[in-house]
Structure 1
Amino acid sequence: MSTESESTDPTRIAFVCVQNAGRSQMSAAFAERERDRRGLGDRVEILTGGTHPADRVHDGVVDAMAEVGVDLSDRTPRAITAEELRACDYVATMGCSTLDLGDAEDDVDVRDWALDDPDGEDPERVREIRDEIEDRVAALFDEFSDAGDGPGGS
């Protein structure tokens, strides 16, 4: 990769869990909203996926997100590849994934958010997890927004 393109390449963020049906879907949706709020449309690319995707987003997650004006009813869990993850600047796992990024390990800022799985939890607990995710996503955006155009080379 050319170091000259680093300043114009978008900041890539991935949110990953096993099923891609709860925490990572909420994270990606909040990141999309945060990107729009901050006017970073073409400067931030957001990916989400799972290592063993479910058939659909968990009902409790769809309901909890609808309460804050975010519609996840049309989202479908998807697999995410190691290649996609290696192309990211930041990867947030939800406490359930072990990633092997190989040679890219030093180039990707991987964070394990260690969040509880909302699947099967009562609505109040799902809301708590949702709110924690929203806070973590905003804090992540604060980090690279404050740093200028995003992470640079080493």
Structure 2
Amino acid sequence: MKEIYPNLHIGSQDDYENIIKQQDGWFIIHACKEPYHRQALGYSGQGAPKTHPEYLIAYRENHLILNLVDAPNPAYIPKQIIDEAIKAIDQHLPSMKVFVHCNQGMSRSATIGLLYLHHIRVINNNFVDAEKEFLKLYPWYNPANGMKMFAAANWDNY
């Protein structure tokens, strides 16, 4: 787990389970389908029913729970999920600490962190240079192909 901006932390499922979960005063973004989205909606099959109103995004108290898989193809990363994560960070960061995590803390959560820093103009470079700069802040950044391609293709939208 690492703070990449004042009160904005990026990390893994282990960081959440072993550190953050026991603390108050955090807004949590679970940037992984397993196990959090599955638990929140209570489905047992391969995926949530596509007709469920919380199919992509679920809120539970101070938690944003995303149906986000680390897909190898960016076509399977819904932009509205990433947009909601950026919006939630914007909304909660002024009043509390925010922790964004995925399973390993290298791809989904780290990419959301990178996109957020670009969104608030902390990192303003082109995508390739921004990744190099972000690695200095968060050395565990190692996105899967789908997340990397999603970020590159949508860089100017954030």
TM-score (norm. length: structure 1): 0.27
TM-score (norm. length: structure 2): 0.26
Higher helix share: 2
